[in-house]
Amino acid sequence: RTDELAAQLAAAHGIRAVAVQADMGSATGPAHCVASARNHFAHPKTGAFTLDIIVNNAAIAANKAVADVDVGHFARLYDVNVRGPLLLVQAALPHLPLDRSGRIVNVSSVSASLGFADQSVYGGTKAALEAMTRTWARELAARCTVNAVNPGPVATDMYAGTSRDFQAQMSSWTKNAPLAAVREGVDADEFVRNAEFAGGRPAYDTEMAGVVAMLCGEDAGWSTGSVVCANGGLKFSM
C-alpha cells in the first residue's frame, strides 16, 4: 500500500516519493530512515542533503490496567513512541536547515493529558513526546520549529482495531467534543450508525493532516514548543 501511495503522490504532484520499511522501535530503524532518504535525495554531484520536514507519526497503542502492566508492554510502547522519535531527530540533526526554516511535528494524543483508564503506559509515552517537543523547540531554535498535535480518536486502522469497551469508555468524552457530532448525508454512514454508541464520530485522517500541514508551512514560522489541539474540541487549549 505504501508503494502504491508513493506512486499516486508522484503522479498527482510531480514529486519523487520513496517508501522505506523500518522498525521505529528498534535501535537502528530511525537512522535507517534518514540514511535511505539521503541515498535517494542527496544531490548527485555535491552530496548536499537537507531534511526540511519531519513528522513523527509512527506509534503503537495498547491498553492495560496498571496492575497488569509488565516490562515487555512498557518497553514495546516506549521504544516506538518515545525512543523512536528521539533517535530519528538525533539522526536528522546533521541535515536540518541552518536558517530556522525546518519543521518538526510530533503526533501526540489527548491521552497525554486526559487520564483515560488503562493508559498508564500509552498516555505516558505521549506525555513524554510533548515534553521532548518543548525541549527540542529550545535546543533546535536556530534550525527549525518544533510543535505537536494531540488528536483524539481518528478513523485509521488503529482506531478500527479498538474494542467496543474502549469506544464505550470514550463515548462520554466524545459527546463533549463539539465537532464530533455526526452529520447525516455528510459523514460516513458507519460513523452515523455508530454515533449513539460511540458518542459521535472520530476525526478523518485528512482533518489531522491539514493541521500538520499548517504547522509545516512558512506562515507557522513563529510557532514553536506548542501542543496544538486537533481533536474536534475533545480537549480545548489552555
Tell me the catalytic residues: 108-109, 122, 126
- CA nearest 22: which of 30, 14, 34? 30
| Separation of alpha carbons 119 and 127, rounded Å | 11
Sheet holding 144-149, edge to edge: 53-56, 102-107, 144-149, 227-228
* Helix locations, 140-233, DSSP H: 157-160, 164-175, 189-198, 205-216
Residue 146, φ and ψ in degrees, nearest 5 = -135, 120
